[in-house]
Amino acid sequence: MKLAEFIRTTLHTKLRDKCSMTEIEALVNDLADVYRSSSHIALMNSEGEIFITNIQDDILYVHIKSKNDYLFYRKEGPYALFNPYIDVSEVLGENFCLLDKKTVVNKNLIKRYDSYMGIIYFDEDWENEDAVKLYAAITAVERILPKIKGKEYDVRNENESLYAPMFKDKLKLD
């Protein structure tokens, strides 16, 4: 049963039976539980168009602008949360990881990362200049991404000479 059907039939039944306030409260809690367990969310683009998207499959990362003000990034660009009263932490789920104070990233959609430059790639063709990427704090990328994705996803592991600063061989510390 789809969410809209569930709401429609439940409300129709409760209103027909003239339910009490406690029953209405229970209904609201049931609806909230169904919504929380859903992996879909309503977002709004810059033109004001509203659409439903799958959080786990479509949202690459979330930028936290301020309390209850978020930007959800898909491959097409940023989208605002349609309903600002939603608890985003309940909706995101286990696929998302707090990268730094302002960025929550979908770890399942990360294809590669660059620990030296602090870049996270969301496209298989990460070398393409049009690839979808996120510039993050280098320390966060160095510290967190090897733990959640593994060092083999670091583009710097393919060619260590890319990673080494030019003066590395000249600098000797005793």
Q: What is the pLDDT of residues 23-63, one digit of tens each?
A: 777 777 777 676 666 678 889 999 988 888 888 899 999 99
Predicted pLDDT at 167 = 45
Which residue, 67, 62, 10, is CA-closest to 34?
10
Beta-bridge partners for 96: 106
Looking at residues 115-139, what average pLDDT do you find?
88
Predicted pLDDT at 79 = 95
| Distance separating alpha carbons of residues 14 and 12, to the nearest angstrom | 6
| Distance separating alpha carbons of residues 58 and 36, to the nearest angstrom | 17
Predicted pLDDT at 26 = 79
In Å, how far are 5, 10, 12, 30, 157 from 16, measured between CA atoms? Answer: 16, 10, 6, 18, 65
Distance of CA 119 to the CA centre of its chain: 16
Which range has the worst mean pLDDT, 64-68, 81-85, 116-120, 156-160?
156-160
pTM score above 0.85: no
Predicted pLDDT at 172 = 44
Q: What is the pLDDT of residues 88-107, one digit of tens each?
A: 877 888 889 998 889 999 99
151 or 161, which is more confident?
A: 151
Q: Where are the alpha helices (DSSP H) in 17-100?
A: 21-37, 55-58, 88-92
In percent, the amount of the chain with pLDDT more than 70 equals 81
Which residue, 111, 102, 51, is CA-closest to 81?
51
